Amino acid sequence: MIINKFETNEEWLNARKGKITGSRLKDIIVKRGSNKKIGFYKLIAEKIAIPRDEEDAMERGHRLEEVAIKKFQEVSGLKVNSDLVMWVREDNENIALSPDGYEDKKIPTWAIEVKCLASERHLEAYISQEIPKEYEDQALQYFIVNDNLEKLYFTFYDDRIPSKPFFFKVIERKNIQKDIDTYLEYQKNTLAEVEKIIKTLTF
């Protein structure tokens, strides 16, 4: 065993980067299944990513969204309308979504959702080629609200990963139609229940 001593807390923090320490083991070790935990991707991020600054994550996401959309247009050759709008279902105005970008047509057949995540989350999505579970429902909502939507370009951008700052995953309606139908029915039932309760509480 080697014992390293440090003069400052900053030196100690820098030395921890990219290393499995006692406090990090729970975020790396997998007890059930085979999927990697977020700590695995954080180790990679600390080795290759530009360190994050103090910028608020939400503000950073808004700032980089426009950059990501421009990059998407360059790579895909598609023209994106990024006007601030809300899509609403014709048969139920309480089922809605605000797209990040969409096909510049009266009834868009494709849209784009942009995520500018923490570097470890960005790498997790790239290496696994899967949309993080916490965003799966959001992706479905695009198709639930717009019956004509055929594709969603789920786009990731992180300028702190110079080797792979941008990529996207294509979600197609034909592959998730069963989930779309299930979630639409669930939302309609939920809203009906909400209205029923509201009627009992208002006079």
Residue ranges covered by each domain of the chain:
8-48, 57-201
Q: Tell me what pLDDT residue 75 has.
A: 96
Mean local confidence (pLDDT), 113-122: 95
Higher-scoring residue by pLDDT: 145, 52: 145
What are the counts of helices (DSSP H) followed by strands (DSSP E) for the chain? 6, 7
Per-residue pLDDT at 67 exceeds 90: yes
By the 8 A CB rule, do 105 and 87 touch? no
Asked if pLDDT for residue 202 goes beyond 90, the answer is no
Q: Is the pLDDT of residue 50 over 80?
A: yes
Question: Topology of 57-201 in CATH?
Answer: Lambda Exonuclease; Chain A (3.90.320)
3-state helix, strand, coil in the chain (%, to 5): 50, 15, 35
Task: Give yes or no for residue 25 having a pLDDT over 70.
Answer: no
pLDDT of 20: 60
By DSSP bridging, strand 151-157 and strand 110-115 are parallel
What residue type is assigned to position 75 of the chain? V
Q: Quick one: tokens of 82? A: 């990024």
Q: Is the dihedral of CA 49, 71, 61, 171 positive or negative?
A: negative
3-state secondary structure of 32: coil
Please report, as a single letter, which amino acid is at residue 165: P
Q: How confident is the model at residue 65 (pLDDT cuts 50, 70, 90)?
A: very high
User: Under 8 Å CB-to-CB from 111, ≥6 apart: which residues?
Assistant: 99, 100, 101, 102, 103, 142, 146, 149, 151, 152, 153
Q: What is the pLDDT of residue 185?
A: 95
The structure tokens listed for 81 are 């309308």
pLDDT range class, residue 45, cuts 50, 70, 90: confident
Residue 49 has pLDDT above 90, yes or no: no
